[in-house]
Amino acid sequence: MNIAQYMPVKIIFGSGSLNQLGEIAAQYGKCAMLVTMPWEGVQKPAFIQAKDLLEAAGLRVVTYDKVVPNPTTTTINEASIIAKKEQVDVMIGLGGGSSIDTAKAIAVGATHPGVAWDYVYTEKKTANSSATLPIIAVTTTSGTGSHTTKYAVFTNPDLKVKSTIVNEAVFPKAAIVDPELMRTMPAFVSATTGFDAFTHAFESYTNIHANPLIDQLALVSMEIIVKTLEKAIENPDNLEYRTLLATADTLSGICIANVGTTLPHSIGQPISGKCPWVSHGQSLALVYPEFLKFTQSACIEKFAKVARFFNSALENVSDDIAASELSNEVSELQKRMNIYTSLKELNVPKSMINDIVRDAVLCPDTYVNPRIPSAEQVKQMLDNMWETS
């Protein structure tokens, strides 16, 4: 077996680690762009602290606070123009995956001919690694893993297509993971981002390119999430729970950076790309029960192992029986967290299903799933997602 692992991100992890932001950013220049969602709200203290730390380290700070939950070419192109004009040296993505992915895309768009969308992998182009601005990720959620990956995911609203820059140039130079920043996450954000982290670990673990090193990281991440996520939702200010979930998210990010995601992302991505009111985590929660039922027969042993994290009673049954219970266990978790849903409940038009199928079967993630579906099977899964059972 040949294994290639690569993780160039310097991870600064722990309570209070945000305090190192200024010192780290100053290594990369004199002008930083601080990229966030509108910061008047739960992120206001983190935004103010980050800005103050950057300025105290001698950096000029340009703020861009128009990030949207499913990042778009509209905001990225606007911010790229500002970054060029202001001669920004380093990008700071502060927030969840949307802010970090936006910062990554701006780092490309501000330094390359054309616009960032020209460099998504569906266009068969790549970013020039020597030109891309350095990126520092400051994550305030524990779900997307973007702080440890070479991916920047965003949507072209004119095409209604969601795609990804895949390039080592957008690995952050540093990732600050401060669990203190996660204590203000609302319950729904905790649930959807936590479930997102679970999917990253699960899909890396069951990917046809899985390897023993990533398997171990994925198993640790999934076990933490299954045992901790609901507790964190019920006790949002508990620093121990937030630290555990931040650990799981970081491990899951390393997993997808080295192995990648599978079928749920190839179906979920076009759903949120065409229907931007559906968050990434919501789209994955929607897809998972049907995906698990479809894939189970091709991955019995691994499905069984994960099912036993949910229900210790499954230790006493065969792998076949344990694996068959995983979809039910995941659905019940979703119901307890209020993220079990349907296409109908998410206001995804039924007429859009064929377009989602078309995009899903074009996505490379579909073909690293343990069981590869036909277009007809993807459509059947989506038809089954129309209403909750």
Q: What is the pLDDT of residues 89-136, one digit of tens each?
A: 999 999 999 999 999 999 999 999 999 999 998 655 666 678 999 999
Domain with CATH 1.20.1090.10 in the chain: 187-384
Task: Delimit the CATH 3.40.50.1970 region(s) of the chain.
Answer: 10-182
Instruction: Quote the pTM value.
Output: 0.95
Positions in the chain short of pLDDT 50: none
Tokens of 3: 């294994």
Among residues 64, 128, 74, which one has the least CA distance to residue 100? 64
pLDDT in tens, 218-268: 999 999 999 999 999 999 999 999 999 999 999 999 999 999 999 999 999
Dihedral sign from CA coordinates of 189, 194, 199, 204:
positive
For 202, residues 6+ apart whose C-beta sits below 8 A from its C-beta are 218, 222, 306
The label of the residue with tokens 């933490």 reads 224
Architecture per CATH, 187-384: Up-down Bundle (1.20)
Q: What is the pLDDT of residue 57?
A: 98
Q: Which CATH class is domain 10-182?
A: alpha beta
pLDDT at 357: 98
Confidence at residue 129, expressed as pLDDT on a 0 to 100 scale: 74
**Residue 124, pLDDT score:** 57
Residue 14's identity, in one-letter code, is G
- What stretches of the chain show up as alpha helix (H) in DSSP? 21-25, 44-56, 73-85, 97-109, 187-206, 212-234, 239-258, 263-274, 280-295, 300-310, 319-336, 353-362, 375-384
